[in-house]
A and B are shown apart, each in its own frame.
Chain A
Amino acid sequence: MTLSDCFDRIEDPPRTITVYAPPPRPTLVERLERETGIDAVAYRRLPEVAGPNQGFLVVHEGDEFVAAIGLEAARQFLEPPIREPWDDHDDPAYRRVIETFDTTIWHALDRRQLLAISREIEALAWRTSSGTLRASFQRASALEAAAPVYVRLAGETALDVHIYIDDDWNRPSIPGVTIHDDVGGEIGSFWALAFDGGGDRLRASGLLAREVDAGTFRGCWTNDVQLVSRLERSLATAGE
């Protein structure tokens, strides 16, 4: 199965977002409409006398309530801080926003958002310290930038780390990391990451996004164990 096949088989759940805030309509509404790929983004007014910091959004899946999220947490999610996988800083709100949009296909993710989500998956792998982590890089230069993270992930855990890159890798090898270089095919147009959970199905986690414009990706992250498993197979096949 190719990464494209894997991508095409993702079925995103029918989610809706309702943003509650006092007028004027927050610009976040347009951003969510444009970037999430969720068709039903609605705005409902709170009284004008309420303060501008009083907004929140509500996510439904069909008729089911999924979560209500403060607009500050939602904005932080769209412009996330980048942390190291071993960073102890706990940000439950950010993690919960990621969970809320599990398997939702976003139409416009930028590199910063993808990096922040990748770091969440790498942090989960770091804490689990076992299992297999697979990551793709579009270019050798991108892997070079991330190399310190992978040196530590492979060096200080029992993780089996596989990296797939479109280019040749003619830099020194990274101890504990199997680099599959010159993979070609589709790897250059995807940002993919898969962690098998290290034997714990609840920790399986993946990210798959396709570059649709320079620096703009369409994709999703997921904790769906079957989807993660398909993603792992696609990456493993690409590296053969």
Chain B
Amino acid sequence: MTVERPSPDDRRANPEELDTAFRVLRHRRRRLACYVLLEHETASLSDVADAVAGWQYATGDGIVEPQCRRQCYLDLRHTHVPVLVDAGVVRYDEESDTLSLVPCPEPIRDLVMRACAFETGS
């Protein structure tokens, strides 16, 4: 029995996709939102905002106040999520107010995972 492996072409991102991915992932909040979504098939925008604010400012002995989290939520809602959606990295379901990485091409998802390891790994 032969196991079907993806051909090198399937695993390779096309240059345009990579250009887009590097452009959208250049902002830390967008990266953190994607890192959160790696673990959760869908998550509400509110939960992602909690996690992004917490991850950015509260790890270790930090504290995030409501005002900081609110700013993070507004930045995601009005700036970062639309950029991620336009780039085809994230899907936003307006009705359920949820985000997901479902449309993200596999090579870009892999890039997000590697960035997460580089940025937040021990």
Chain A interface (Cβ < 8 Å from any Cβ of B): 18, 20, 44-47, 49-58, 64-73, 76, 92-93, 96-97
Contact = CB atoms under 8 A, between A and B. Distances in A.
A55 B61 CA distance: 10
Interface residues of B, number: 29
Interface string B35-77: 1101110000001001101110111111111100110000000
Interface stretch (B2-10, B14-22, B114-122): B114-122
A56 B55 CA distance: 7
Contacts of A44: 39-40, 47, 51
Contacts of A93: 61-63
A91 B24 CA distance: 38
Contacts of A56: 54-55, 58-59, 62, 64
A68 B58 contact: yes
Q: Is the interface of A mostly helix, strand, loop or mixed?
A: mixed
B35 A47 contact: yes
Contacts of A64: 66
B113 interface: yes
A50 B54 contact: no
Contacts of A51: 120-122
B35 A50 contact: yes
A47 B118 CA distance: 12
B59 A53 contact: yes
Given A46-B55, A50-B35, A56-B59, A66 B66 contact: yes
A188 B41 CA distance: 53
Contacts of A46: 35-36, 39, 51, 55, 120
